[in-house]
Amino acid sequence: MSSLDKNIQIKNTLTGDKEVFKPISKNRVGMYVCGPTVYGEPHLGHARSAITFDVVFRYFTYLGYRVRYVRNITDVGHLEDELSGEGEDKIAKKARLEQLEPMEVAQRYTNLYRDMMSKLNVLPPSIEPTASGHILEQIEVIESIISNGLAYECKGSVYLDVTAYVEKYHYGELSGRVLEELMTGSRSLEGQSDKKHPADFALWKKAEPSHIMQWSSPWGKGFPGWHIECTAMSSKYLGVPFDIHGGGMDLKFPHHEAEIAQSYAAFDCAPVNYWMHNNMMTLDGQKMAKSKGNFISLSQMFDGDHPLLKKAHSPMTVRFLMLQAHYGSPIDFSNRALESAETACNKLLKGLTFINDLQPDDSNQFDKEISNQIIEKCNSCFKRMNDDFNTAETIAVLFDLLSLAHKISQASTIISSEALIGLKKTYKEFLSDVLGISSESSDSSDTLPDIIDVLLDVRKEARDKKDFELSDYIRDRLNVLGVKINDSKEKSTYSFQ
Amino acid sequence: MSSLDKNIQIKNTLTGDKEVFKPISKNRVGMYVCGPTVYGEPHLGHARSAITFDVVFRYFTYLGYRVRYVRNITDVGHLEDELSGEGEDKIAKKARLEQLEPMEVAQRYTNLYRDMMSKLNVLPPSIEPTASGHILEQIEVIESIISNGLAYECKGSVYLDVTAYVEKYHYGELSGRVLEELMTGSRSLEGQSDKKHPADFALWKKAEPSHIMQWSSPWGKGFPGWHIECTAMSSKYLGVPFDIHGGGMDLKFPHHEAEIAQSYAAFDCAPVNYWMHNNMMTLDGQKMAKSKGNFISLSQMFDGDHPLLKKAHSPMTVRFLMLQAHYGSPIDFSNRALESAETACNKLLKGLTFINDLQPDDSNQFDKEISNQIIEKCNSCFKRMNDDFNTAETIAVLFDLLSLAHKISQASTIISSEALIGLKKTYKEFLSDVLGISSESSDSSDTLPDIIDVLLDVRKEARDKKDFELSDYIRDRLNVLGVKINDSKEKSTYSFQ
């Protein structure tokens, strides 16, 4: 572990300040990130959050921390009207449309999400709990809040009592909203009349008999409110408080604000020490939204199957474009930005081989200045990542290292073995292990038939010229590799043995 | 859908008879299969069960049935001493060894299991529920059994009351055991004294305070017995009774016997109409067991990393070897059997291209006899699969079809277009879609560098002979494909652009 690892600074979105990270247990990190609601195709928003915290997970792990990373799957309880907590359960609605059991819908989109994350080289979290799998835990948290006098039951539903809550705790700290705003922001919808105060939010909802996702509870049949799952699962697997809570900044209100309130109300304790929020994305400067027709799913991105896309973009290009910005900044996706990211990403990847092939020179006459420059740049990788996980600047430093490598190669400059070893190790580890940028193996299987075709064409030319030595040589070499050539009068074909 | 689809016969292991399959809902199948306990490396036993029921899932789907296939993940409640239901929770034990939260252990092995199943071309089930995610549902089933007078609570644990049960229902129907045997088979262990009768089994177990996996229940803190999860999850997602319950034959007793008892005790109804059990495997004629050192994990199989293996075997070879036997028969894994399976599998896969390349001939003068033979063999594929999913015989029919294809090709025999279309369609669909045998794409990425090396060697030879036309041709063709050749004095290397 580098000595620099003690200097990680995190922009805590609760305080707005960049703070030195102090883990609760030495050399351990507990991190919770809000995962997807699995009622639809994974999209760029899912990717940005997952990639942001994947890099945080990777960097802490790289430094030698033992990280327990919990990212949930919301498979129940996420209502369509997120602000008021009313409306129809998103997953149940989709299920009725598709005539499937809601858990079949959830499973299908969960599988798709996992596949897409794997393509993006996002590591699986340590624990991936589901909301429907923690109903009992959610009921227990709600019972604690009721017994603390900060929630009430009404007609089979349970609401957090914001009026009682604000007498003891501050509400709105994360989003900076005041209670009056919260009241104004809450719309009058069916069922709202059960609440004592419009800003109260549901912890448990009574289910109508027709509702397909429902469980028994002390308040009758129902289902949990959206916010309570994260309080139940984070406290179960990480305790309270834990170290880091992450998510997209669109979740600050109401979701994360509600999590804070639920934690204080149940445990008399803040849920977490550091809040981190990744910023959003635009497409050609426009906010992405299904209604605008500029909403791109990850499948569409990887297949190029969207009217706004000029071509398909590989998962690694998407990952690289996201890491080229600091997670706290917005990103604009455009065809031009994607193409630039592709070029830049390939350049860094090609640099891996180039730098790895640099040969040491035992001469004592090395160039001190350039050796020191390289060592300094290697240290910069740590410094940039320690500075609130600044992947954008880390990538810039990797480009600097690559330029230096080209420079010393062209000028046949000799550098110290310390600098050479540092260069090779830092470049490879930050690119592959920390940023998770790697060449995509799928490329090679796509290229293989084309490369074999080149060989078959060379061989045909040789046969036409009656150069049987060459044509037999190609046939035999391919045969050893399991590629069998079948010659016919018209043409030669091949098959894998 | 073929007209043959109404004639599926299943060997029902409850009755011992081959029975015509009659679905509860027209054109729908509900199937539940016992999945892995995720406390260790996935092994050949997991693979056989998963592949067996994957083919059942695939064949019903192929015939046009809407299948809801539920395969669970046991992440809690599976005790080490399976017979008595006593002992330490397997996952909690492993967790303490590895100093991990038990759910981290479960997640890691769940991920590994999913990866391995994907390699084996086993489709994901429609729903993959976890035991820990259905505690509430398990508690509800237990409450029903208690209220029906067939279970009792003692010191925070709940047991099924076998004595009361046998007054109303038959116990031991599936395994053919009688109660006296069950009593003799149950060992006297610590905690057994809480039971009224040695054959009673735990539905809920009181947790000691040190036990890390525990939940609140009407009987205090505890955790579910192993058997109850399958009753809770199958009834939740499929109802009672549902169509098909599958699993390895080692699960007949006590697990499936207990499921039957729990279903009658809770719902006064059999859990399922058809029980299917896959047989076990031996290695060189020996039963596989960790203690014997002949226990091979799937990773070891695919890497060849086991003293008893001569070489690595691909997932498709393993899958093919399993399908070469009927699921109800034992299979002996040996180096020789694996090598034969590899050869046979590759032969059938090469047949795909061969048969696909057969050209139609519009002549009316086709060979009626051989055309009829082909059509009959195509129908045989359905017949063989309809006969209790006989994959072994289906594979034999596919070989017959391939022989016929070679025969007509060599003799330039003309067959009817009906026969040709049937041959192409049946061969491809039964091999790929029903049996799930496909060429492995991972091979190609391994081969690519070797194939490029052949081209570089041909090019070097050309350059040595000053045949610059050929050497430039190869360079340019590769360049278009993104493979850039870098020539130096000593040798040429390449990189991907």
The per-residue DSSP string of A39-61 comes to SS--BHHHHHHHHHHHHHHHHHH
CA–CA gap between residue B371 and residue B349 (Å, rounded): 23
Provide the shortest C-alpha distance from residue A174 to chain B (in Å).
Answer: 30
Q: Is residue A98 very low, low, confident or very high in pLDDT (cuts 50, 70, 90)?
A: low
Which value does ipTM take for this structure?
Answer: 0.83
pLDDT of residue B475: 86
CA–CA gap between residue B469 and residue A26 (Å, rounded): 66
Nearest-10 crossing angle of helices B315-323, B335-356: 90
Give the model confidence (pLDDT) of A330-358 as tens digits: 999 999 999 999 999 999 999 999 999 99
pLDDT of residue A192: 57
Which residue in the set B101, B216, B474 is minimally distant from A237, CB to CB?
B101
Percent of chain A past pLDDT 90, that is, above it, reads 68
What integer is the mean pLDDT of B278-299? 88
Per the CB < 8 Å rule, is A473 touching B481? no
A292 or A232: which carries more pLDDT confidence? Answer: A232
Q: Is the pLDDT of residue A180 over 80?
A: no
Q: Is the pLDDT of residue A53 over 60?
A: yes
Per the CB < 8 Å rule, is A353 touching B215? no
Which residue in the set B108, B132, B452 is minimally distant from A451, CB to CB?
B452
B490 or A18: which carries more pLDDT confidence? Answer: A18
Q: What is the CATH number of domain B283-434?
A: 1.10.730
Provide the shortest C-alpha distance from residue B445 to chain A (in Å).
Answer: 5
Element (H, E) at B495: strand B492-496
Per the CB < 8 Å rule, is A445 touching B441? yes
Chain B residues touching residue A478 (CB < 8 angstroms): 451, 454
Provide the shortest C-alpha distance from residue B199 to chain A (in Å).
Answer: 30
Q: Is the pLDDT of residue B192 over 60?
A: no
Per the CB < 8 Å rule, is A133 touching B134? yes
What integer is the mean pLDDT of B119-138? 97
Per the CB < 8 Å rule, is B136 touching A439? no
Q: Which two tokens stand for residue A184?
A: 């104004």
CA–CA gap between residue A380 and residue A384 (Å, rounded): 6
Query: The tokens 């071309």 sit on which residue?
Result: B121
Superfamily of domain A3-278: HUPs (3.40.50.620)
Nearest-10 crossing angle of helices A368-386, A417-428: 30
SS3 call for A393: helix
What integer is the mean pLDDT of B402-409? 96
Chain A residues touching residue B109 (CB < 8 angstroms): none
CA–CA gap between residue A199 and residue A89 (Å, rounded): 20
pLDDT of residue A194: 84
SS3 call for A25: coil
Residue of B nearest to A484 (CA): B350
pLDDT of residue B351: 95
Provide the shortest C-alpha distance from residue B200 to chain A (in Å).
Answer: 27
pLDDT of residue B79: 47
- The answer to whether A127 and A70 are in contact (CB under 8 A) is yes
Per the CB < 8 Å rule, is A124 touching B111? yes
Optimal mutation site among B113, B445, B453, interface A, most CBs of chain A within 10 A: B445
Burial profile A173-182: b = 16 or more Cβ within 10 angstroms, e = fewer: ebbebeeeeb
CA–CA gap between residue B424 and residue B363 (Å, rounded): 19
Torsion angles phi and psi, residue A211, rounded to 5: -70, 125
B7 or B78: which carries more pLDDT confidence? Answer: B7
SS3 call for B227: coil
Chain A residues touching residue B473 (CB < 8 angstroms): 458
Chain B residues touching residue A496 (CB < 8 angstroms): 350, 439, 443-444
Which range among A82-91, A204-213, A298-307, A442-451 shows the weakest confidence by mean pLDDT?
A: A82-91
Looking from the CA of A431 toward its CB, the CA atoms found within 13 Å total 27
Which residue in the set A107, A136, A455 is minimally distant from B127, CB to CB?
A107
Chain B residues touching residue A108 (CB < 8 angstroms): 126
Provide the shortest C-alpha distance from residue A391 to chain B (in Å).
Answer: 23
B441 or B31: which carries more pLDDT confidence? Answer: B31
Q: How many CB pairs under 8 A join A and B?
A: 131
So where are chain A's domains?
A: 3-278, 283-434, 442-496
Q: Is residue A486 very low, low, confident or very high in pLDDT (cuts 50, 70, 90)?
A: confident
Rg over alpha carbons for chain B, rounded to the nearest Å, is 28
Provide the shortest C-alpha distance from residue B486 to chain A (in Å).
Answer: 12
Give the rounded distance of the alpha carbon of A339 from its chain centre.
21
Strand runs labelled E in A177-336: 201-206, 222-224, 242-248, 272-278, 281-283, 286-287, 331-333
| DSSP structure class, residue A293 | T
Chain A residues touching residue B130 (CB < 8 angstroms): 130, 133
Provide the shortest C-alpha distance from residue B378 to chain A (in Å).
Answer: 25
Query: The tokens 């030879």 sit on which residue?
Result: B461
B469 or B50: which carries more pLDDT confidence? Answer: B50
A325 or B445: which carries more pLDDT confidence? Answer: A325
Element (H, E) at B360: none
Per the CB < 8 Å rule, is B477 touching A461? no
Provide the shortest C-alpha distance from residue A239 to chain B (in Å).
Answer: 12
Give the model confidence (pLDDT) of A116-160 as tens digits: 999 999 999 999 999 999 999 999 999 999 999 999 999 999 999
Optimal mutation site among B451, B478, B479, B491, interface A, most CBs of chain A within 10 A: B451
Residue A487, strand partner residues: A492
Which residue in the set B350, B457, B482 is minimally distant from A495, CB to CB?
B350
Nearest-10 crossing angle of helices A257-267, A228-238: 60
SS3 call for B124: coil
Per the CB < 8 Å rule, is A101 touching B68? yes
Q: Which two tokens stand for residue B98?
A: 């590895």
pLDDT of residue A190: 46
Q: Where are the alpha helices (DSSP H) in B304-414?
A: 315-323, 335-356, 368-386, 391-410
Chain A residues touching residue B103 (CB < 8 angstroms): 127, 129, 237
Chain A residues touching residue B124 (CB < 8 angstroms): 107, 111
* Total residues belonging to chain A: 497
Which residue in the set A136, A455, A482 is minimally distant from B135, CB to CB?
A136
Q: Kindly report the pTM of this predicted structure.
A: 0.85
Per the CB < 8 Å rule, is A461 touching B483? no
Chain A residues touching residue B232 (CB < 8 angstroms): none
Mean pLDDT of chain B: 89
A218 closest CA partner among A283, A281, A151: A151
Which range among A286-290, A407-411, B126-130 shows the weakest confidence by mean pLDDT?
A: A286-290
pLDDT of residue B190: 46
Q: Is the pLDDT of residue A77 over 80?
A: no
pLDDT of residue A68: 95
CA–CA gap between residue A118 and residue B7 (Å, rounded): 41
DSSP one-letter string for B49-85 = HHHHHHHHHHHHHHTT-EEEEEE-BB-S--EEETTTT
Query: The tokens 């054959």 sit on which residue?
Result: B199
Q: Which two tokens stand for residue B50?
A: 């998963």
Using CB atoms within 10 Å of the CB of residue B405, give its burial: 0 to 12 exposed, 13 to 18 middle, 19+ buried: buried
| DSSP structure class, residue A387 | B
Give the model confidence (pLDDT) of B304-354 as tens digits: 889 999 999 999 999 999 999 999 999 999 999 999 999 999 999 999 999
Q: Which two tokens stand for residue A91?
A: 């997953």
Per the CB < 8 Å rule, is B127 touching A101? yes
Q: Which two tokens stand for residue B459?
A: 């090019």
Which residue in the set B346, B357, B445 is minimally distant from A444, CB to CB?
B445
CA–CA gap between residue A360 and residue A352 (Å, rounded): 16
Chain A residues touching residue B438 (CB < 8 angstroms): none
DSSP one-letter string for A138-164 = HHHHHHHHHHTTSEEEETTEEEE-HHH
Optimal mutation site among A412, A440, A496, A497, interface B, most CBs of chain B within 10 A: A496
| DSSP structure class, residue A256 | I
Q: Is the pLDDT of residue A3 over 50?
A: no
CA–CA gap between residue B121 and residue B433 (Å, rounded): 10
Which residue in the set A216, A458, A482 is minimally distant from B447, CB to CB?
A482
Which residue in the set B133, B137, B477 is minimally distant from A454, CB to CB?
B477
Residue A81, strand partner residues: A86
Per the CB < 8 Å rule, is B136 touching A134? no
Rg over alpha carbons for chain A, rounded to the nearest Å, is 28
